[in-house]
């Protein structure tokens, strides 16, 4: 784990996020429609793949000609010559779910501008830029591996905070199997949404009141730069895509 040291947001990042168009280039708020797209597409393709395998196996078993492909593909009749609910799912699931997934993708793209405008407005009011540092473990959330990250406002990157992070890392490293399982359970329940940051105190008692926890994909879990937007109901911490920041090397 990296040591938390005093950190000032680089000028290129500050400039990029101060402009609505620059913010839109570097920040992409998550979308429920995009998440639904992924889930529906995976399920639809899985059902389609199973049906195709079943079709080819049946045609091979009964030595059926290629002209009977669609007859077998759309068949929902089981061995007892009655409608089989599972076959109905395999046949009609992809036909319904894949187009629905495409609709969700279109909805996500069409609403991206409004999501980003709302995020920029909130950031412009009382947001700040912060570096998020990953803790040395991972857990599964939404069917993918993620890493919990600690966010501390730049001007609070003190020795005291560094010692606190080292203490958290030490605490995690000494957990037994039951303790690790309980920690994972807590993180899954509290860090289920990728952009919602929670007080670190809710997971690690004794944490500084200004410390936040958020999760990031395992591939970028060591460190991210965040546009943090405090709110009454929840605090959002949007990942800043540094490759989209002008003047960033």
Domain chopping of the chain, boundaries: 33-115, 126-242
Residue 245 DSSP label: S
Contact 212/198 with Cβ under 8 angstroms? yes
**Average model confidence (pLDDT) across the chain:** 85
Cβ–Cβ contacts within 10 Å for residue 207, how many? 20
Tokens in use for 226? 């965040």
DSSP class of residue 177 equals: H
Structure pTM? Answer: 0.73
Contact 76, 54 (CB under 8 A): no
3-state secondary structure of 139: strand
Task: State residue 7's pLDDT score.
Answer: 65
pLDDT at residue 152 is higher than 90: no
Region 61-84 average pLDDT? 82
The pLDDT value recorded for residue 24 is 92
Phi, psi torsion values for 185, nearest 5 degrees: -60, -40
> Can you give the pLDDT at residue 1?
47
CB atoms within 10 A of CB 3: 12
Question: What was the pLDDT predicted at 214?
Answer: 92
Contact 64, 72 (CB under 8 A): yes
């Amino acid at each position: 784990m990296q040591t938390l040291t005093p950190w000032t947001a680089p000028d290129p990042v500050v400039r990029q996020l101060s402009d609505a168009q620059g913010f839109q280039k570097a920040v992409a708020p998550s979308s429920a429609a995009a998440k639904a797209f992924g889930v529906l597409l995976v399920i639809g393709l899985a059902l389609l793949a199973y049906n195709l395998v079943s079709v080819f196996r049946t045609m091979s078993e009964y030595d059926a000609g290629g002209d009977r492909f669609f007859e077998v593909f759309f068949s929902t009749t089981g061995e007892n010559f009655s409608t089989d609910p599972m076959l109905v799912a395999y046949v009609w699931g992809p036909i319904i779910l894949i187009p629905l997934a495409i609709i969700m993708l279109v909805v996500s793209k069409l609403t991206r501008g409004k999501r980003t405008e709302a995020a920029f407005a909130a950031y412009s009011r009382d947001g700040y830029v912060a570096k998020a540092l990953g803790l040395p473990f991972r857990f599964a959330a939404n069917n993918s591996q993620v890493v919990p990250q600690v966010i501390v406002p730049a001007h609070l990157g003190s020795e005291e905070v560094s010692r606190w992070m080292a203490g958290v890392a030490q605490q995690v490293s000494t957990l037994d199997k039951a303790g690790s399982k309980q920690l994972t359970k807590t993180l899954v329940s509290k860090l289920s949404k990728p952009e919602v940051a929670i007080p670190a105190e809710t997971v690690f008692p004794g944490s500084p009141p200004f410390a936040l926890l958020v999760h990031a994909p395992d591939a970028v879990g060591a460190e991210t730069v965040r546009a943090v937007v405090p709110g009454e109901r929840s605090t959002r911490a949007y990942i800043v895509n540094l490759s989209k920041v002008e003047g960033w090397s």
